[in-house]
Structure 1
Amino acid sequence: MVIHIATLLGSVVTTLAKRLLMLILGFWANAMVCAFSFIAIAAVASASFMLANAAYAAGTSSASNPAPIKIVTTIQQQWQFNLLKEALRRSGQSYQVEQMSTQMNQKRKVEEALAGTVDVFWSMTSKELEETVLPVRIPLFKGLLGNRLLIIRKTDEARFANVKTLADFKQLKAGQNRYWPDASILEANGLPVVTSYQYTNLYPMLEGGRFDYLALGAQEIGDELASHPDPALKIDTHILLQYRSPAYFFVSPKRPELAAAILAGLENMISDGSFDEMFNRELKIDKLYRDAQFEQRVIIRLDTPDLSPLTPIERQELWLDLFSMQGAK
């Protein structure tokens, strides 16, 4: 009897223990499920927050770093193109500059700018040009373009060596591109001028005696003669033809904001001295002065009646000192 009761009690205890164990295990299982559920919810929330932040950051980045503004230019020359790119970089805007490979004369460039297919080009200025498209009135060559050396026939060297005055110089005939503002300046000063609509035609015309000299900017004349080699031609060593003829960037009237950006960038470069540093380095100004021997030449000064009253002549930092030079007597 005692054994039976003990057995019964043992069975009851065992059953109770099993149920208690099941309750404990069930509690922990539920707790673990809840814990894992909480972790999963937290992870999803965290991931959602991160995605939202990433999307916001991407949107913010896109807004603060917009796609570069595309501009089209006809400029191919190294100095002018490099200067344009640096000015745009300094403007605070992001630009993508596309160079047109098509060769255009001055008239065509203006037409394309008016149509909006060309955004910016460079040229020597004139009143008419400044009234037609938008000038950025910072002289790209600091006035150097208006200091002209002459390509002449070698057989005429003595004729040019005898020139002492403007009256002497008027006995010689100039060759010019019809679209260049220089032609009008020379004519306005009473100089005889023969023109061609094609620049490349001027070299054989000079050799053939159609005119006596071709005046080009001191910074370009060496390269130009090398590009049109002719054993009958040379650079004169006696005369400096001088007149105010700043070259500017000109912008399509459809892009006034671009003109403002270029001006802002150039002014930034002028203020910190980097314009002069880049100008002297790229155009090798020290060497140019040594080779050209400006101060030893007879200076023939011309008026520029077509010069805009808005030309920044009073800003001395924009010009070289050549216009105050006395030259040879």
Structure 2
Amino acid sequence: MKLKTIFILTLAYLVGSSSVFAAIDIVHPILRKGSDLDAYASRLIVFLVEKSGETANMTAYRSVVNAQDRKVDLLQKGELSVDWLGASKQLEDKLVPIRFPVFRGLLGHRIFITNKTTAATLGDIKTKADLDKLTMVQGQGWADVDVLRSGGFKVKEISSFESIFKQVNGGRAPLFPRAVIEPYSEVASRVDKLPELVVDDKLMVVYKFPMFLFVSPADKHKPLADALTNGFKKAYEDGSFLKYFENDPLVKSTFEKVKMDQRTVFTIDNPHLSEETKAIDDKYWMKTK
């Protein structure tokens, strides 16, 4: 084969392979201190993009953004490409939801970060009326706020993520509900400066609540939305997502620590899910007792 022919064939192959020339540029929020959840989500994005046949070029946003409302604004403007957020009708209307539960529904299994003084009293809570007496804190604009309030709980919103931990540590707020995949690493990374923080081992609140990857609606981010959707579909078809999920260190350590069957469980409804989210096939949700 002549050298010219080889060059033409090679060039044709390269032109047909988009990932050779350009990865998908992805601007994501700065990962929060001690958040194994954020680390999992960022790894998952790369896994899904590569599963779709593309390549991901991950870049953290230039500054920390605490308030979810601000993140949503940046996503709408296209300054952020993607974030991982609890689903709500409002978010799904504003952004592009990739409707595969990132943690297969574990986000709706909530246990509490609290302080040592409050933790000593939680064993006395036997009824929901008992739990209703304690205020729960959440980040400003989080979808959980509406779910918990709909369930009858008193909820206080705080704009700064780090301020939540400080208030709980100081006894100014008793309970910080976190998905079972979140609190252990969050407390461990702060206990030197906030020594009163503990993870409660007695209670759990459960509601249907998926975390989705939400992509910016800006046109330039459509390739990312397509790649994530295709990545999820392929990963479920070949079984690789379930292997990824079940073998992830965060998921494995969560089940070892949480001991769901030893907790008093309070189940509440989530009336804030969209009809599309309610219709997600059962195979994408993990079955837990």
Deviations 1:153-178 (A, max 9, x none): 21223431121222221011111111
Aligned residue for 2:103?
141
Return the letter of the residue paired with 2:2.
M
* CA deviation map 1:48-99 (0-9, x unaligned): x935324422431331123124322315432111111111112133443333
CA contact (8 A) 2:40 2:250 kept: no
TM-score (norm 1): 0.77
SS at match of 1:234: strand
Partner of 2:180: 218
Match in the other structure for 1:65: 17
The CA distance in 2 between the partners of 1:313 and 1:149, in whole Å, is 26
Task: Give the CA RMSD over aligned residues.
Answer: 2.0
SS in 2 for 1:311: helix
Distance 1:246 1:101 in 2: 28
Runs of 4+ in structure 1 displaced over 6 angstroms? none
Aligned to 2:8: 56
Helix, strand or coil for the counterpart of 1:93?
Answer: coil
Q: Deviations over 1:165-224 (max 9, x none)?
A: 222210111111112111221122221112210010012212333221111111111001
Q: Aligned partners of 1:268 and 1:305: how far apart in 2?
A: 31
Greater C-alpha radius of gyration:
1
Aligned length: 275
**In structure 1, what is the equivalent of residue 229 of structure 2?**
263
Question: 1:27-46 maps to which residues of 2 (within 5 A)?
Answer: none
Q: 8 Å contact 2:125–2:131 — kept in the other structure?
A: yes
Moved more, 287-296 or 133-142: 287-296
The AA in structure 1 aligned to 2:176 is: L
**Cα distance in 1 between the residues matched to 2:272 and 2:280:** 18
Q: How does 1:257-296 map to 2 (within 5 A)?
A: 257-296=223-262
**Residues 231-270 of structure 1 mapped to structure 2, 5 A cutoff:** 231-254=195-218, 255-270=221-236
After TM superposition, give the deviation of residue 143 of structure 1 in Å.
1.0
Taking the aligned partners of 1:51 and 1:157, their CA distance within structure 2 comes to 75
Maintained 8 Å contact 2:28/2:58: no
Which residue identity is paired with 1:251? V
Q: Could you tell me which residue of structure 1 aligns to residue 40 of structure 2?
A: 79
Which of 57, 65, 73 does residue 104 from structure 1 map onto? 65
Report how far residue 284 of structure 1 moved.
4.5
Q: Percent identity?
A: 27
CA offset at residue 287 of structure 1?
3.7
